[in-house]
Amino acid sequence: MLGRGAATSYTGTMAFTIGMAIFPDAEELDFVGPWEVFTASAMLRERAGEQPDQVLLIADGLGPVRCNKGLRVLPDATFAEHPPLDVVLVPGGQGTRREADNPTLLSWLAKVSASARWTTSVCTGSLLLHASGVADGRRLATHFGFEDELERRGATVVRDARWVRDGQIVSSQGVSAGIDMALWLTGQLHSVEHARSTQRYIQYDPAPPYQADA
């Protein structure tokens, strides 16, 4: 895996294929947040006359997938058949506890991660990176409520960073943290200036309305 650190030297003109694994009870915002970031980035590249990145939802089959809070989405491709992936993203959600014992998903993840430039997770998606072996020796972030459990399962957990990049593995904390991670990765894939334009397009100038608990 040495040498993957050169990822930041990509030219701004390359286009990438980004695949997001989904499964029953995947958490909605974990993948739709990054989806919005990556597809907005693609649209801005297309407007600028550059080749846009392609973003796909990938699942076991093409039928509707019911997410953790009830949203039903349709996958674009299946684990058995999809284009080569430059970036893999694994969301969290209650479904990760079941998928951590699903050899189909875990072996797919190990296979695509071996040739992808980046393998990423949001929230408890880190459990699937860990269970598949693709994060062996890497530090991981996860949802604050799952840090103890992920550590108990043998992972090295970082508790004080919104997202963690360790080699080609990038993992984020819970749910909304995937947006920040996806913006960071957009800057790595293309350019910081392009990531800023993407952030501006989705008007991501967050202003949480109530002060946090003291």
Q: Could you tell me the smallest distance in angstroms from the CB atom of residue 141 to its own copies?
A: 10
- Relative to beta strand 118-121, strand 139-140 is unpaired
Q: Catalytic residue among 89, 123, 134, 150, which?
A: 123
Does position 196 bind its own copies by CB under 8 A? yes
Pick from 32, 44, 140, 150 the residue near its own copies by CB under 8 A. Answer: 32
Q: Could you tell me the smallest distance in angstroms from the CB atom of residue 86 to its own copies?
A: 18
Q: How would you label 192-207 residue by residue, b for 16+ Cβ within 10 Å and e otherwise?
A: eebbebbbeeeeeeee
Active site residue 67: no
Does position 135 bind its own copies by CB under 8 A? no
Structural contact between residues 82 and 107, judged by C-beta atoms closer than 8 angstroms: no
Nearest to 153 by CA among 135, 172, 179: 135
Residue closer to its own copies, measured from CB, 105 or 179: 179
Using CB atoms within 10 Å of the CB of residue 3, give its burial: 0 to 12 exposed, 13 to 18 middle, 19+ buried.
Answer: exposed
Please give the Cα distance from 38 to 52 (Å, whole number).
Answer: 10
CB-based contacts of 189: which residues, under 8 Å, 6+ apart? 10, 14, 16, 53, 86, 87
CB-based contacts of 212: which residues, under 8 Å, 6+ apart? none
Cα 121 to Cα 34, 44, 194: the distances in Å are 10, 24, 22
Side-chain-side CA neighbours of 49 within 13 Å: the count stands at 0
Binding to its own copies by CB under 8 A, coded x per residue (else -) over 49-88, reads ------x-x------x----xxxxxx-x------------
Pick from 23, 79, 118, 184 the residue near its own copies by CB under 8 A. Answer: 184
Does position 121 bind its own copies by CB under 8 A? no
Does position 203 bind its own copies by CB under 8 A? yes
Q: Could you tell me the smallest distance in angstroms from the CB atom of residue 68 to its own copies?
A: 8
Residue closer to its own copies, measured from CB, 130 or 194: 194
The count of other CB atoms within 10 Å of the CB of residue 57 is 20
Does position 156 bind its own copies by CB under 8 A? no
Number of residues that bind its own copies (CB under 8 A): 53
- Residues with catalytic annotation? 123
| Interacting residue ranges for its own copies, rule: CB under 8 A | 27-29, 32-33, 35-36, 39-40, 42-43, 55, 57, 64, 69-74, 76, 123, 143-144, 162, 173-177, 179-181, 183-184, 187, 192, 195-196, 199-210, 212-213
